[in-house]
Amino acid sequence: MIPMAMNGTPEPHDVQAPPPTTPSDAIPVQPSSFFQRTDWLSFWITTTLALAVYLFTLAPEVTLEHSGELSTAAKYAGVAHPPGYAFWTLYAWLFTKLLPFYNIAWRVAVSSAVAGALACGLIALNVSRAGLMLLESIQDFRKLAAREENWLRILCGCVAGLGFAFDRSFWSQAVIVETKALGLLLFSLILILLLRWVYAPEQRRYLYASFFIYGLSLNTSLVLAIAAPGLPFIILFRSPALSRDLCFALSVIVAAAVLGHIKGFLPQLAEAATQMDSLWHWHLAIGIVAGLTALALAIFTRGLLSHWKIVSVSLLLFLLGLSACFWLALTSMSNPPDNWGYPRTVEGFTHVISRGQYEHLSPTGSFQEFLRQVVWCAENSANGLGIIYLAAAVIPFYFIRSMESRERGWLLGLAVTYVCLALLLTAMLNPPPDRAAADLVGPFFSAAHLVLAVWAGYGLVLLGTILGRRATVKAATSTTW
């Protein structure tokens, strides 16, 4: 018998403790992978289908515009027209060696098709995984059964990825010798890395990788530079203190550039900067906004430079990716057949990377004209991507107030990035009213269409869950009767 205390409970010293657990008895906890099998299935289906269509519709030889010149630059790893496209040149040159048959233009066009298909696959991967995050974050939102939900995520990811794959502007660039497909692949990868970091901010390697890839992307498509003011907002809504220090660093860099421009430091760079005088006040405005944002966040967070190590590593990796442009100087020394601007000299290098031979950008001068251009931008999105996708892209914002802060911040950060890629780019390019010129400007808005396709995929996941849930309830009700 076990001795009892006065209240009927066993005496403490008589209670037999369970045997101690040895390390061999402990069950190891395996860290779950962020991207699930469902997400990768959506990625591979989308990539395979898009690549099959691209290869079937691939341009068989040299086409118009820069096709011949870019093909020559890729064959000899030379210097293409400004800004040189250093990373794209190396990427396309690799395909001219891996495919030892057919003509050079076709091989380089295959590189565009592969990059475009992978970009679409990353959109599907983004939609499938982030769609699950949105479903889990909305309060009182009943989900589907696991099997049905997995199939829904696969389907919506494929619809979003293939919708962008067959966007009119992007499709036309993914089947010819062009640089934009690789640029959008890198931009898609940046969004994937930032999504992974948003999910687990303590895993900083994904944030560092996104800065490095962004630096590489500017060696492929300078249009993506317009996303620079928007991407930090993804960081801001997840980590205000980190964004504070990043904005402070950007404001210091802009202030140093302004001081150097006034004092005449580094005359070669100052000469290159004068070729972009029409944009100088925009650069100054971005620096002022970054400084004011850092000041506001410093007051809000009651601190400054607490994440200076992370910011320093991120900016150094960005510069490392951007330094790929020095390949232009190295390859120019071998004097390839396509050696635009002779960037082996300091003067030629600054001429190439600053797009010195082209006409200066002339931003929109009046608000009325800007409104007309915004309407054109909306029509371009509807004609290229499709009005159905634009309608689906609005759905996630209907639930945004019910989401957790992490998912809400992800959507708002993408929204600011889209404003830069669409509205700010519209003001910078100042597209003319004639249709012929507008069609030439249209492909520059493909990155904005990519964000719309991602939102549309999110919206379809939410809408499919609602409709599937109602269908299940209706089926159960009819079965009961």
Quick one: which of 472, 477, 480, 420 has its CA closest to 148?
472
pLDDT at residue 168 in the model? 87
pLDDT at 259 exceeding the cut of 60: yes
pLDDT at residue 479 in the model? 57
pLDDT at residue 342 in the model? 86
pLDDT category at 31 given cuts 50, 70, 90 is very low
Q: For residues 16 and 205, which has the higher predicted lDDT (pLDDT)?
A: 205
Q: What number of helices (H) and strands (E) belong to the chain?
A: 21, 0
pLDDT at residue 28 in the model? 35
Residues 10 and 2: their CA atoms lie apart, in Å, by: 7
Contact between 224 and 322 under an 8 Å Cβ cutoff? The reply is no
396 CB-near residues (< 8 Å, 6+ apart) = 134, 411, 455, 458, 459, 462
CA angle 356, 359, 361 (to 5 degrees): 105
Mean pLDDT comparison of 90-94, 341-345, 370-374, 380-384, highest-scoring range: 90-94
pLDDT at 356 exceeding the cut of 80: no
Helix axes 267-274, 277-301, angle to 10 degrees: 100
Quick one: which of 139, 222, 131, 161 has its CA closest to 465?
131
pLDDT at residue 440 in the model? 80
Quick one: which of 427, 429, 273 has its CA closest to 353?
273
pLDDT at 279 exceeding the cut of 60: no
Distances (CA, A) of 339 to 145, 269, 344: 59, 21, 10
Of the listed ranges 91-95, 237-241, 393-397, 458-462, the one predicted with least confidence: 237-241
pLDDT at 91 exceeding the cut of 90: yes
Whole-model pTM: value is: 0.86
Contact between 108 and 74 under an 8 Å Cβ cutoff? The reply is yes
pLDDT at residue 208 in the model? 95
Of the listed ranges 216-225, 390-399, 432-441, the one predicted with least confidence: 432-441
3 CB-near residues (< 8 Å, 6+ apart) = 10, 11, 14
Contact between 311 and 281 under an 8 Å Cβ cutoff? The reply is no
DSSP assignment of 404-438: -HHHHHHHHHHHHHHHIIIIIHHHHH---SSHHHH
Contact between 449 and 188 under an 8 Å Cβ cutoff? The reply is no
pLDDT at residue 5 in the model? 42
pLDDT at residue 260 in the model? 67
Mean pLDDT comparison of 11-20, 76-85, 277-286, 359-368, highest-scoring range: 76-85
pLDDT at residue 48 in the model? 96
Please report, for the chain, the start and end positions of each structural domain, with discontinuous segments joined by +. 37-239+307-472
Q: For residues 311 and 254, which has the higher predicted lDDT (pLDDT)?
A: 311
> Tokens standing for 356?
């010195």
pLDDT at 269 exceeding the cut of 80: no
